[in-house]
Amino acid sequence: MFICNHCPYVKRSIDRIIADARELQKLGIGSIAVMSNDPADYPDDSFDNMKRVAREKGFPFPYVLDDTQDVARAYDALCTPDFFGFDASLKLRYHGRLEELVQAMTGSPPAQPRNSIGCSIKWKK
């Protein structure tokens, strides 16, 4: 998943993100959160603030900094939050919104996944 600290969409859904990650973890499905924003323009997204938020919220997954923004580009991530689900063969099973993630990873992905909605990735200049 691609998340950040300052986005109101992430702030509103962070508790569900954590709960869903814990549910998936019980089933042997891991999660990782990537922060790709430019912290120079968005200091709330600094690495120190990432560590603080992860600690305060008790993230059950790694929260990593995509300093080069290469990961976001490789995944064609456009916003936060944005969710990608891969199977054991690393085949993309799902790309879309949080509301459909658990179903997509534990059952069958929706035939027409809904595009993620949120704050755009804050690209470096």
The whole-number pLDDT of residue 49 equals: 98
pLDDT tens digits for 90-122? 999 999 999 999 999 998 888 888 999 999 999
Which pLDDT score, from 0 to 100, does residue 12 have? 97
Please tell me the pTM assigned to this model.
0.95
Strands 83-86 and 92-96: antiparallel
Q: Is the pLDDT of residue 86 over 90?
A: yes
Q: What's the rounded Cα separation, in Å, for the pair 55 and 52?
A: 5
**Separation of CA 67 from chain center:** 15
Taking residues 35-48, what's their average pLDDT? 97
What's the token pair of residue 17?
């993100």
Average pLDDT, the chain: 96
Report how far residue 80's alpha carbon sits from residue 85's, in angstroms, rounded to the nearest whole number: 15
Question: Which segments of 2-125 does DSSP mark as H helices, in order?
Answer: 8-26, 47-57, 70-75, 101-106
pLDDT of 111: 87
Q: Given a cut of 90, is residue 59 above it in pLDDT?
A: yes
